[in-house]
Structure 1
Amino acid sequence: MTWDALVVGGGPAGSATAARLAADGWRVLLLDRAEFPRRKPCGECVNPAGVEALRRLGVLDTVLASGAAPLDGWRIAAGDEASFVGRFPDGVRGLGVPRERLDALLLDHARAAGVEVRTGIKVSDLLRDADDRVRGVAAGGEEIPARIVVGADGLRSVVLRRLGLLARPPRLRKLALTAHVRGLDGLRGCGQLRARGRGCVGVAEVGGGLANVTVVVPGARAEEVSGDRAGYFDAMLRRYGLDGAARVDDVLATGPFDYPARRAVADGALLVGDAAGYYDPFTGQGIYRALRGAELAAGTIGAALRARDTSAAALMPYHHAHRRAFADGERLQRIVEAFVSRPALLRWAAGRFTRRPALGDAIIRATGDVRPPRSLLRPGLVAQLVL
């Protein structure tokens, strides 16, 4: 059988895209090399825009019932010298939820929508016709034909590489170490980013008395992690003042980051989520981008299937919509990265934000996709920052 759509990857981007297509009546197959539930290295925060995307998908009540923790804002600390708090507006919240749980719930939702899900199957290559159009995948020792292939297979996407759309090797040479801990009191729905030197650690509640701790390791110190990432992670808990934290599971690692795609479409194929381009999102932007990208992708794919035209030209509306939706956010991510990785800049900004709370609220609302990044250019906010 030739599937209408074959989705590679069962994370939020893949599951949401597949569920939306199946709900519209298309025959959809989803493949993932892992068995679910499975842990995933991630900060495990869904920003407020991501929460609304879960609502539109029809799974928010299920996620809330699973024990997700509310997230009302972030505290940013620059060493021991300055810190500020940025809050989301009243009635607007993000969520902290383990990816092991979130991804399994989204995959179950895709199954319920009519998606055929096959896990434990690795996609090794793309199938192409005589005109070099993608016509399916090679996976698990068989060839599986499809009218369109959706690459939702994450940071090191096989589909992205087989399409030849990776723009360049990553330049943001750093690692992230992630684990769950118990014993951190006083978070009270507020995530924390603590910076020291060129490294930082992010902390957020994820429900059930657990918090996610993500330690960001500068590229120059990556060798210190090799061979004993658990030991490095535990040492960083002490260094960043998290002495009361007791790690409850293994330390996962990911990185380096910064994988830009030249474009998000090709003849017979489309990229969504991290596979469509990645640059170190903060405060839950990664999951929001996956869910919002799935909405955009499903609309374009449905139109292309109905028109019986899955060429790159027919899929370009998705590419353009993707750029419009996320380009400003990516620019903001680069600015935030520039401050977080430069201690003097972050201390200066934290000092300004401490004296002017509206600035902290504005930056957290922009990074949380509650307000567009361009809202930071309002004359009043700029004046508070520079004067």
Structure 2
Amino acid sequence: MTWDAIVVGGGPAGSTTAALLASDGWRVLLLDRARFPRRKPCAECINPAGVAALRRLGVLDRVMEAGPARLEGWRIASDGGPSFLGRFHGGVHGIALPRETLDDILLRHARACGAEVREGLKATDLLRDGDGHVRGVVAGGEEVAAKIVVGADGLRSIVLRRLGLLARAPRLRKLALTAHVRGLGDMGGCGTMRARGRRCVGVADVGGGLANVTVVVPAEQAHEVGGHADAYFDAALRESGFVDARRVDDVLATGPFDCPVRRAVADGALLVGDAAGYYDPFTGQGIYRALRGAELAAQTIGAALRAGDTRAAALMPYERARRRAFAPGERLQRVVEAFVSRPRLLRWAAGRLDRRAQLADAVIHATGDVRPVRSLLHPALLRQLVA
């Protein structure tokens, strides 16, 4: 049997791509090396644009039944200096829930839409014809044919590496340590990020009395983590002022994140989610990018399959759509990271934003994909910044 599409990876990007293609009547095979539900190192926040994407997919009701926490905004605290609070307005909000719950819901939805899901099966290579066109995958030692292969297998994507689209070897600029804790009490419906030197700690309620804590460790401190991730995480939590927090599971580590991708399409293959290029999320953009990228990918794949042409040239509309959708946010995120990683700059910015609530809200709206990044260039906001 030749599948219309094989999707490698059952996270939000892969499950959503599979669900959308199967809903359109295509024969879709979804593979993941894990068995669900499973934990995943992630901040577990979904910004308002991601909530809207879940609604379009038809799964938001099921997600809300799982009891996620509601995120009304974010408080950013500088090291020993001021903090500022930015809130979502206009009737929108984010949510947060454990990835094992979210991913299981999305995987079940893909199966309900008609995709065949095979868990515990790892793709190890790509099949190609004599011209190098991808024609399927090798999984579990067997060759499985498809008209197109979708790589949705994350930061260390096998599909990306077999396609040779990684621009250079990943660089360790930072790593992230993630775990769940109890004992933080009411967080006021907002996530919190606290910087301490070049390290920062992000905290968000994920429902059920749990909070997700993610410690972002700069490269120069990575050697301190070594084989002691739990101890480093616990110390960072205390040093950031969360003295009543009690960790309830093991710390998951992930990184490096600096994995530039030359492009997200090739003859017979396409990349989506983190496999298509990762950047450091600020307030839940990561899952939104996975969901929105899957929507864009499914549109292009459907058109290519109907035309019987899955060459890279026929898949380029997806590449162009990705760039239009995500490039402004990536540029903004690099600016945000420049401030967060420099304590003096962050103290300066936090002080100004603390006194200018409208500007703080505008920043959170832009990073939350509620408004376009260009909205920050509004003359009234620029006047507040330089006043």
Alignment of 1:94-243 (within 5 A): 94-171=94-171, 173-243=173-243
Q: What is the distance in 2 between the residues matched to 1:202 and 1:208?
A: 18
Corresponding residue for 2:89?
Answer: 89
Tell me, yes or no, if structure 1 residue 249 matches structure 2 residue 239.
Answer: no
Q: C-alpha distance in 2, partners of 1:93/1:260?
A: 31
TM-score (norm 2): 0.99
Amino acid at match of 1:61: D
- State how far apart, in whole Å, the 2-side matches of 1:356 and 1:169 are: 42
Which amino acid in the other structure matches residue 133 of structure 2? R
SS at match of 1:4: strand
Post-superposition CA distance 1:268-325 (Å, at most 9, x none)? 0000011111111111100000000000000100010011000001100010001000
Deviation (angstroms), 1:100 = 0.5
Task: Indicate the larger mover: 136-145 or 169-178.
Answer: 169-178
Matches of 2:382 and 2:124 in 1, distance apart? 50
1:27 has 2:27 as partner: yes
- Cα distance in 2 for partners of 1:172, 1:316 equals 30
Identify the residue that residue 346 of structure 2 maps to in structure 1: 346
Q: Distance in 1 between matches of 2:372 and 2:121?
A: 39
Deviations 1:175-221 (A, max 9, x none): 10000000102312100000010000000010100000000111000
Output the amino acid matched with 2:278: Y
Q: Which residue of 2 aligns with 1:375?
A: 375
Distance apart, 1:171 and its partner CA: 4.1
Contact 1:260 1:279 in 2 (8 A): no
The corresponding residue for 1:384 is: 384
Moved more, 101-110 or 160-169: 160-169
Counterpart of 2:304 in structure 1: which amino acid? Answer: A
Distance 1:172 1:53 in 2: 32
Q: State how far apart, in whole Å, the 2-side matches of 1:313 and 1:227 are.
A: 46
For residues 142-200 of structure 1, give each alpha carbon's deviation from its aligned partner in whole angstroms, at most 9, with x where no partner exists.
Answer: 00000000000011111111101111233461010000000102312100000010000
What does residue 301 of structure 1 align with?
301
Distance, in Å, in 1 between the alignment partners of 2:149 and 2:239 is 46
Q: Equivalent residue of 2:257, what SS?
A: coil
What is aligned with 2:287? 287
Rounded Cα–Cα distance in structure 2 between residues aligned with 1:358 and 1:195: 23
- Tell me the equivalent position of 2:330: 330
Moved beyond 3 Å, runs of 4+: none
Specify the code of the residue in structure 2 equivalent to 1:76. Answer: I
Instruction: Give the share of equivalent positions with the same residue, in percent.
Output: 76
Quick one: distance in 2 between partners of 1:91 and 1:19?
Answer: 28
CA distance in 1: counterparts of 2:171 and 2:335, whole angstroms: 15
Structure 1: runs of 5+ lacking an equivalent: none
Number of residue pairs matched by the alignment: 387
Q: CA deviation at 1:80?
A: 2.8
SS at match of 1:18: helix
Q: Structure 2 vs 1, CA of residues 94 and 201 (structure 1 numbering), >3 Å: closer, same or farther?
A: same
**Cα offset, 1:258, TM superposition:** 2.0
Other-structure match for 1:275: 275
